[in-house]
Amino acid sequence: MPRINSPEELEKVRQEILSRRDPSKPCISICAGAGCLASGAGEVIAAFKAEIEKQGLTTEVNTKGTGCPGFCERGPVLVIYPEEICYLQVKPEDVPEIVSQTIKEKKVVDRLLYADPTTGEKATHESDIPFYKNQERNILGSNIKIDPKSIEDYLAIDGYSALSKVLFLMTSEQVLEEVKKSNLRGRGGGGFPAGRKWEGSRNAPDPIKYVIVNADEGDPGAFMDRALLEGNPHSILEGLIIGAYTIGSHEGYVYVRQEYPLAVENVNIAIRQAEEYGFLGRNILGSGFDFTVKVHQGAGAFVCGESTALMTALEGRAGEPRPKYVRSNIVGLWGKPTVLNNVETWANVPLIINKGADWFTQFGTEGSKGTKIFSLVGKITNTGLVEVSMGITLKDIIYKIGGGIPGGKRFKAVQTGGPSGGCIPEKLLDLKVGYDELTKAGSMMGSGGMIVMDEDTCMVDVARYFLNFLIDESCGKCTPCREGMRQMLKILNNIAEGKGREGDIELLEELAEVAVDASLCALGKSAPNPLLSTLRYFRDEYEAHIKEKRCPALSCKELIAYHIDPDKCQACMICLKQCPAEAVIGGKNRIHVIDQEKCTKCGTCFEVCPPRFGAVQKISGEPVPAPIPEDARTIVRKSKEK
Amino acid sequence: MENERIDQIIDKHQGEASSLIQVLLEIQCENRWLPKEALERVSEKLQVPLTRIQHIATFYKAFSLVPKGRHEIHICVGTACHVRGATRVLDNVQDLLGIKPGETDLDLKFSLETVNCVGCCALGPVMDVDGKIYGNMAPSKTADVIKNYE
């Protein structure tokens, strides 16, 4: 491919690509994102290739592995174009039928369609499925249409047209004004207005400037940046190049964690292709603007998601944050003005340029414009990535899109903002999603993790979990974070183990206050959030642990016990065989009893006991009933009495 | 690991001191741990003091200063897996193997690690052995997975 040297040539290349594509030719798009691959998408893709060849359809059908469309719960997901038929949970065995029925006969395979869990009504198209119907998929929507390893696919959906527009039809001032007008705020957590950040760097006198994509997505339970980088890497590069042009930078970095090998691979391929086509390198599209990008892999440190720590890591040192007396957009990487934005922020930029700030601001609330991608996970029926307009209520996300809580359980809380965020209780479910709204509720937007918790989740344990995580990830530079968190965890461990004392809650609050006030970076400052928000909304759970030595969610190992109800046990031997600790005593026709000494409280017996018996019970805050006497354990079955 | 190979990796990164982390990542990836001799070679070639290399090798989670087992087990303890019972899975694997996260068993068969999210939350709790993902894990299922590995 020769380099493209002008906007006219770009359009010619685009038209040429489109002319080679027949929109009526069947195309099978299979999600090849991490979630679907883990549920077997690789085998499905291979099966399609083999079957299509076997049936002699190679020239008549296209097959491609695409980016993640978000419905991980029902993976592997595929969409067949041009009819846009959406099949879920496809297995290699289903492939011959799909090819012979849907591709050849144009018939829909009913059993692979989405079925409404209550009405049983089938949905043929992606857009008919409630999970998708209630979303606003400005960014994620492209993922299923393109093979992330193909720049032609990106060009076919108008890719790099925003870059061409910026380089030839707009001055850098105009680009900045448009981004400022859009009020795009950082999608990585802090929510700082991107336009203002860019302006600071642009106005800084230093001639050498840098732009960085922050793809060090470390929040446990969040994977939207991964889906974007894996699924549509060119859109992020395009945003980055536009940003570089605006502030006058000629060198950029993509900092991506090495735990995301597919993202690293796809972004490297995308950079190579963009260089080949002339979207990167010297004299981009013949405009005279030069810009190069390098990929830097993170080596596994959560704190490196913090901007100054990330820059220190890029310099080849241990990623410790530094004080921000001067912001990094003025003094950043190697002391130069540096604009660092999150993956999703960059992905929004080409859209804002192409469609305009007015289009962008029609989505969202007063303070938070546009859409936001959340990863909706935990105790939720439809796990996956959801992109919604800011301002949607939590209730709509969890119930309309997420399909509510599985297993007839009761909703307890939703945790947003990752380890720096907080838990929002049921009474606040009408809260509108936005930066300021979430902060007011004691949580934060964060990068967009949304973890749903049900009645079985213990809030003391959740606070303990996040603190444990942060202690592991704290760089250890400043004392309130390093030592304060350790002390908080000690107290929380005591509470969860039934050794809590009066006054513990107050002490926790005091320690949290110091960590918030005196820590250097956002990690320490926000570390107490999960603790404080659970204390604010679920204080009674803490008190039950301390005063009654009871875990209301029946979750904390040290405070619960498993017990087999002798009246319900049918001596079916299932729990006895499955118990990994061999703690179930019993036998054929002998009522089973748990040896409390041996029991490791792994919960296997509770899970495997057939629901029609429901003999295994969890108890907390009360003594375990004494085992029934040996001679009363024999079950005499009626059929055998004769 | 041969010095020659280390030199190749360093040359690939133009021998810049700022590429230290990338160089170490590549050595870790190929050799699966960082032997002292390798670190000394990197220190010499990149003109970076060994203390700084040690700092980096211990700061970042991706690096190991001790040999790893033939199979690496990662138990995801991301929030989504956690609320779905990852701790019970982890406890069970620890009991089965007799090692804790970060440790390798004596015959170098398994290394056990926790990981903070592999991004397959729909399948949680998730266990990853040598890159293969096992979803919807439960304490009763771990033994069946582990016995497949020699």
Q: Are A143 and A224 in contact (CB under 8 A)?
A: no
- Write down the pLDDT at residue A639: 64
- Could you give phi then psi for residue A639, rounded to 5 degrees? -60, -25
Q: How far, in Å, CA of A206 to CA of A81, rounded?
A: 50
CB B126 within 8 A of CB B81: yes
Q: What is the pLDDT of residue A370?
A: 95
Question: In terms of residues, how long is chain A?
Answer: 642
Domain boundaries, chain B: 3-59, 71-146
Cβ–Cβ of B80/A220 closer than 8 Å? yes
Q: Do A602 and B78 touch (CB under 8 A)?
A: no
What pLDDT score was predicted for residue A215? 93
pLDDT band per the 50, 70, 90 thresholds, residue A18:
very high
Neighbours of A37 (CB within 10 A): 22
Comparison of pLDDT for A565 and A635, the residue scoring more: A565
Handedness of CA A517, A523, A528, A532 (dihedral sign): positive
Residue type, A419: P
Statement: residue A393 has pLDDT above 50: yes
* Sheet with A371-378, side-by-side order of all strands: A384-389, A371-378, A449-454, A411-416, A422-425
- Are the Cβ atoms of A301 and B118 closer than 8 angstroms? no
Mean pLDDT along residues A151-158: 95
| Residues of A with Cβ-Cβ distance to B119 under 8 angstroms | 34-35, 223, 226, 260
pLDDT value for A475: 83
Question: Is 90 exceeded by the pLDDT of residue A34?
Answer: no
d(C-alpha A289, C-alpha A175), whole Å? 15
Say yes or no to pLDDT of B1 above 90.
no
pLDDT at B64 over 60: yes
The pLDDT tens digits for A341-367 are: 999 999 999 999 999 999 999 999 999
A282/A284 Cα distance (integer angstroms): 6
pLDDT of residue B15: 66
Q: CA of B107 to nearest chain A CA: how many angstroms apart? A: 23
Instruction: Compare CB distances from A223 to B21, B52, B117 and report the shortest one's residue.
Output: B117
For B71-146, the fitting CATH number among 3.40.50.300, 3.40.50.150, 2.40.160.20, 3.40.30.10 is 3.40.30.10
Question: φ, ψ for residue A279 (rounded to 5)?
Answer: -90, -15
Token couple for A96: 């011959």
User: Is 80 exceeded by the pLDDT of residue A328?
Assistant: yes
pLDDT per position as a tens digit, A223-269: 899 999 999 999 999 999 999 999 999 999 999 988 888 899 999 99
Q: Residue B122 and residue A451: Cβ atoms within 8 Å?
A: no
Q: What is chain A's mean pLDDT, rounded? A: 92
**pLDDT recorded at residue A533:** 93
Q: Which one of B9, B21, B91, B145 makes the best mutation probe of the A interface by having the most chain A beta carbons within 10 Å?
A: B21
Mutation test of the interface with chain A: which of B87, B121, B134, B142, choosing the one with the most A Cβ atoms within 10 A?
Answer: B121
Distance from CA of B143 to the nearest CA of A (A): 9
Q: Which residues of B touch A34 (CB under 8 A)?
A: 118-120
Residue-level pLDDT at B2: 82
| Residue B99 DSSP class | -
The domains of chain A, with CATH numbers, are 20-132 (3.40.30.10), 159-361 (3.40.50.11540), 371-454 (3.10.20.600), 459-547 (1.20.1440.230), 557-640 (3.30.70.20)
| B18 with A313: Cβ contact below 8 A | no
Predicted pLDDT of residue B129 = 93
Residue where the block lists tokens 């938070």: A368
- Give the containing element (helix H, strand E) for A518: helix A504-518
Strand order in the sheet with A292-298: A292-298, A251-257, A210-215, A338-342
* Confidence tier at B116 by pLDDT (50, 70, 90): confident
pLDDT of A79 > 90? The answer is yes
The rounded percent of chain A whose pLDDT value lies above 70 is: 99
Mean pLDDT score, A429-449? 90
- Give every CB contact of residue B122 below 8 A, 6+ residues apart in sequence: A35, A39, A72, A73, A75, A377, A383, A384, B135
Stretch A83-106: mean pLDDT, rounded?
93
Is the pLDDT reported for residue A638 higher than 80?
A: no
List CB contacts of A199: < 8 A, sequence separation 6 or more. A176, A180
Which of A150, A132, A200, A129 is CA-nearest to residue A29? A150
Q: What is d(CA B139, CA A556) in angstroms, rounded to the nearest whole number?
A: 16
- Residue A642: its pLDDT value, please? 45
* Bond into B125 cis (ω within 30): yes
Q: How confident is the model at residue B17 (pLDDT cuts 50, 70, 90)?
A: low
pLDDT at position A637 over 80? no
E strand or H helix at A46, and its extent?
helix A41-54
- Mean of the per-residue pLDDT values of chain B: 90
**What is the rounded distance in angstroms from the CA atom of residue B24 to the CA atom of residue B62?**
10
